[in-house]
Amino acid sequence: MYVDLILTASIKAGEGIVSIYESAHSIDYKADNSPITEADKVGHRIINRYLNQTVYPILSEEGKNVHLSERIKWDNYWLVDPLDGTKEFINKNGEFTVNIALISAGTPVIGVVYVPVKKWLYVGIEGEGAWKLELEDHQLPPDWKSAGIKLPVDQCNNDCYTVVGSRSHTTEETNKFISNLEKKHGELSFLSMGSSLKICLVAEGKADIYPRLAPTMEWDTAAGDAIARSAGCKVVQYETGEPLQYNKKNLLNPWFVVKR
């Protein structure tokens, strides 16, 4: 299933991104006014070099748009965000990630999230489980499962329900959701985090819930979604309670909630 290949791809992309992160770099803007840096493009190129060795097609935030008439033929494909958390990258807080997921029949079955500044590597494989590794010098251990810690590792304190939220995005609806959690659970503990790390913190057991009542795209969530599901969490649509679906006609996600 190419797991070692995509682990290596994420780490190598992270190395390339960090080399730009630590130097001066320019910032451009896409048509929707969202920022893009040279690091996004470098990460995209490195990942593609690896994924092009596989039999599966690639859908990437930084790649060309693939029409639905082509995508609908894909039973399995890679869904990639080479640099999730560009705002965190620009703000230099280290909370950005490299995300690679394998989607099968609309479901994320393998997910890799690499945090190159912190050298944290999260892995989720359907039917096998999820792990977190803390790497040295961006090196993947030969027996990475034994070197990693099985998720979840830290169960939240039952006396303090923990909510994780975005550093860069908040909405009135999210505030109302949290207010309702306070009525149910009493005093809450809050964690702020960027990028797909928020999903990983729930998978890890450091947070109980992550409500995302704001726009995201499929490539923003797929890798973290696979990790969370593999760690025994639920990643569900806010309105219906059904799991998130991938390779939809519109690649915009509905609002969703990640919970233990």
pLDDT tens-digit map of 33-89:
778 889 999 999 999 999 999 999 999 998 878 999 999 999 999 999 999 998 899
Q: Domains in the chain, please, with CATH?
A: 3-150 (3.30.540.10), 161-259 (3.40.190.80)
Based on the number of CB atoms within 10 Å of its own CB, is 33 exposed (0-12), middle (13-18) or buried (19 or more)?
A: exposed
Whole-model pTM?
Answer: 0.94
Find out whether 159 is annotated in a ligand binding site.
no
pLDDT tens-digit map of 196-211:
999 999 999 999 999 9
Find out whether 84 is annotated in a ligand binding site.
yes
Find out whether 154 is annotated in a ligand binding site.
no
Confidence (pLDDT) at 158:
57
Find out whether 85 is annotated in a ligand binding site.
yes
Tell me the range of 29-43, 83-97, 106-120, 157-171 where mean pLDDT is highest: 106-120
Residues in the chain: 260
What is the distance between the alpha carbons of residues 170 and 66, in angstroms, rounded to a whole number? 30
Residues 6+ apart with CB under 8 A from 135: 11, 119, 120, 121, 141
Find out whether 40 is annotated in a ligand binding site.
no
Segment 121-132 mean pLDDT: 98
pLDDT tens-digit map of 236-249:
999 999 999 999 99
